[in-house]
Amino acid sequence: MLKFYQKVIILGLSLLLAWAGWKGLNALFYQGTASALNQSGEGIRMKKINKSLEDWKKELSPEQFRVLFQKGTETAFTGKYNDFWEEGVYLCAACGTPLFRSEDKYDHGTGWPSFKESFSEANLEYHDDLSLGRHRIEVRCAVCGGHLGHLFYDGPAPGGKHFCINSAAMNFKPAEEARKELPQVATFAAGCFWGVEYKFSQLTGVLDTVVGYSGGKTVNPTYRQVLSGKTGHAESVQVLFDPRVISYEQLVRKFFELHDPTQYNRQGPDYGPNYRSAIFYHDQQQKKIAEQVKAELQQSGRYQKKIVTEISPFRSFYRAEDYHQKYYQKKLGPICSNE
């Protein structure tokens, strides 16, 4: 008969094997889930910061270093930004990259700052995290690689996103300062997003571009789902730009130049609501500019038909799969029908 301590050892080994098996299954089933959200390394214009851990340790507080570069998690309900509601922009505490806006912050009740949308998808990267024996999507700063928190899909409608972020990973810049110093974001849909992204990326003052899906109701859709026309999403391009170099109005005018805004739910042979013409404005000033340019072009006589471009408030943006990002740089030539 086995003695008590032998039973304990056997039980411990059984639990350890079960844990290892569970992690193995998670790794098998979720392999590449987060990487599909990331941009390809080809053609990315965002400058990376490469510093040693010793350098970061000297620059950051012990808690910031633990969270950002040792993947630590602060205790729930203790972070300085958990119950903080001033207007402005949250930046990476390590490198200062804009991460989230105050208007996208909400109380999820978990004890950590929660956001329903990012400042720009170009500023984030995602990684599969199996550290707790279950699959989670880790969120990192795309510039310095610092650990920020995790992305879940139990957030508020319509986007469903829940960025659960450590306060220690962020600093805050008040709204007035942010408007003067930080880049801005624009979101457009003009048919096949491969060519649209490429054309915007070539403009002086554009810092980065990301293709994805916007304007619909389906949470975190795949390309195949969007292609069906049933998600409500349009193939879209998110443009991160420096307003001191290129204005939003210039981007809007370029948007109208690079496609036919009189075609309803199509561009050339590409047919369906996912190929519609749309401007998703991020604030009232963008709305005003988009409407003014659209009206001006309609009255100019440049187009014989009515401009059908949709001008709607930005709700959410889901980054497209990796193989769609910077597609022209990979394929080295025109492919879309709206060329």
Spatial distance between the Cα atoms of 15 and 20, rounded to a whole number of angstroms:
9
Q: Using an 8 Å Cβ cutoff, are 297 and 307 in contact?
A: yes
Q: Does residue 95 carry a catalytic annotation?
A: no
Strands (E), 102-233: 105-106, 114-115, 124-129, 136-141, 147-152, 162-165, 170-174, 184-190, 206-214
Spatial distance between the Cα atoms of 240 and 185, rounded to a whole number of angstroms:
5
- Alpha carbon of 233 to those of 112, 118, 182, 278, 307: distances in Å? 30, 18, 28, 11, 20
Whose structure tokens read 């879940």?
152
In the set 92, 95, 192, 336, the catalytic residue is: 192
Burial of 244 (0-12, 13-18, 19+ CB in 10 A): exposed
Q: Does residue 164 carry a catalytic annotation?
A: yes
Rounded to the nearest 10 degrees, the angle between the axes of helix 248-257 and helix 284-299 is: 40
Spatial distance between the Cα atoms of 307 and 326, rounded to a whole number of angstroms:
28
Q: Using an 8 Å Cβ cutoff, are 171 and 185 in contact?
A: no
Main-chain dihedrals φ then ψ at residue 252, nearest 5 degrees: -65, -45
Q: What is the DSSP string of 176-204?
A: HHHHHHS-EEEEEEESSHHHHHHHHHTST
Q: Using an 8 Å Cβ cutoff, are 83 and 109 in contact?
A: no
Spatial distance between the Cα atoms of 217 and 221, rounded to a whole number of angstroms:
9
In the set 92, 95, 144, 164, the catalytic residue is: 164
Active site residues: 164, 192
